[in-house]
Amino acid sequence: MIASLGMYPFGHLRDDYDRLWAAVCANLGEAPEVLSHDLELHQVWQHHELLVGQTCGWPLVTTLPDLLVIGAFDPAVPFATNGRYRSVAIASKPLGIDHWRAEPGTRVAINSFDSLSGWVSLCDVWDGVPTSVLETGAHIDSMRAVAEGRADVASIDAVSFEFIADTMPMLAGRVHIVGHGPSVPSLPLVMAPAHAHRLTEVRAAFADAVADPALAAVCARLRIGGFVSFDRSDYLPLLEMAHPRLR
């Protein structure tokens, strides 16, 4: 049995994620004592004994049909509410998306083509599919690409943007916020079908942990404002949000 909360792999947050998981475990029966920090994400998602994992909403609805949705954290970031958030559109100059879309040669940076916040949300804001794309592998590298002039525009996960702004304010200060993506459910917490009978138990454990005043400072550093019980059905509308060329 494994558990992983690996979608925000910032080293300075590892201890806080461990403390959060310890609090969740205190409200569970049998569970892994520690988080699996070093497993590659696709290994986590495909593990038949996954009790708790975290994924992106786009792979959830396109390539991970068997995973059960536990819920999601309510992100403590701007423009987030009830477990939903909006990505942050950034640019190398303080010019709106309409300008960049009309400008010949505009290049966008994305972390991955399977990213809801970095690619699908960008296409929604773009009202189409950008033609010149630099795939960077990570939101922080997309921000660097824009800051260094290797790309003009990027869409950044809102929680990642706040973590980067907290720890690398000079990098964040070199880009301009020029818009926001559509409101979408935040990163889903998921489990393997083998643990379906524990879904209610795990949901209650997360809700109790994030509401515990003793964990308030940890949740604040992790930008967690609460827990929302979502189902897969809450994410399926993402398929309709996507531009036709992405379906």
- Residue 29 confidence (pLDDT): 87
**pLDDT 10s digits, 99-147:** 999 999 999 999 999 999 999 999 999 999 999 999 999 999 999 999 9
Domain boundary among 123, 158, 180: 180
My answer on whether 189 and 73 are in the same domain is: yes
Same domain flag for 174 and 109: yes
The answer to whether residues 100 and 124 belong to one domain is yes
- What is each CA distance from 218 to 47, 51, 115, 243, 245, in whole angstroms? 28, 22, 26, 37, 41
Token code pair at residue 195: 């643990």
Residue pair 117/157 in contact by the 8 Å Cβ criterion: yes
**Same domain assignment for residues 202 and 216:** yes
Phi-psi domain of 62 (left: phi exceeds 0; alpha: psi -120 through 50; beta: other): alpha
- 167: Cβ contacts below 8 Å, ≥ 6 apart: 10, 12
Asked if residue 169 and residue 94 are part of one domain, the reply reads: yes
Whole-model pTM: value is: 0.93
Cα 158 from Cα 168, distance rounded (Å) = 15
Neighbours of 203 (CB within 10 A): 18
Q: Are residues 74 and 156 in the same domain?
A: no
Q: Could you tell me if 74 and 188 lie in one domain?
A: yes
Assess whether 10 and 66 both reside in one domain: yes
Instruction: Quote the radius of gyration of the chain (alpha carbons, Å).
Output: 18
Which residue segment(s) compose the domain that 105 sits in? 87-180
Residue that is last in its domain, among 154, 180, 206 = 180
233 and 189 in one domain? yes
How does residue 245 score in pLDDT terms, banded at 50, 70 and 90?
low
pLDDT for residue 222 is more than 80: yes
68 and 189 in a single domain? The answer is: yes
CA angle 72/78/83 to nearest 5° reads: 15
Segment 204-220 shows an average pLDDT of 97
| Same domain for 227 and 209 | yes
Task: Summarize pLDDT for 27-84 with one digit per residue, the tens.
Answer: 998 999 999 998 999 999 999 999 999 999 999 999 999 999 999 999 999 999 999 9
Q: Do 75 and 189 reside in the same domain of the chain? A: yes
pLDDT digit string (tens) for 175-188?
Answer: 999 999 999 999 99
Q: Is the pLDDT of residue 206 over 60?
A: yes
**Quick one: what percent of the chain has pLDDT higher than 70?**
98
Is residue 178 within 8 A of residue 96, CB to CB? The reply is yes
Indicate the residue among 180, 198, 227 that finishes a domain: 180
CA 133 from centroid of its chain's CA atoms: 20
CATH code, domain with 67 = 3.40.190.150
Q: How many domains does the chain have?
A: 2
User: What's the CATH number where 119 sits?
Assistant: 3.40.190.10
Query: Percent of the chain at pLDDT above 90?
Result: 95
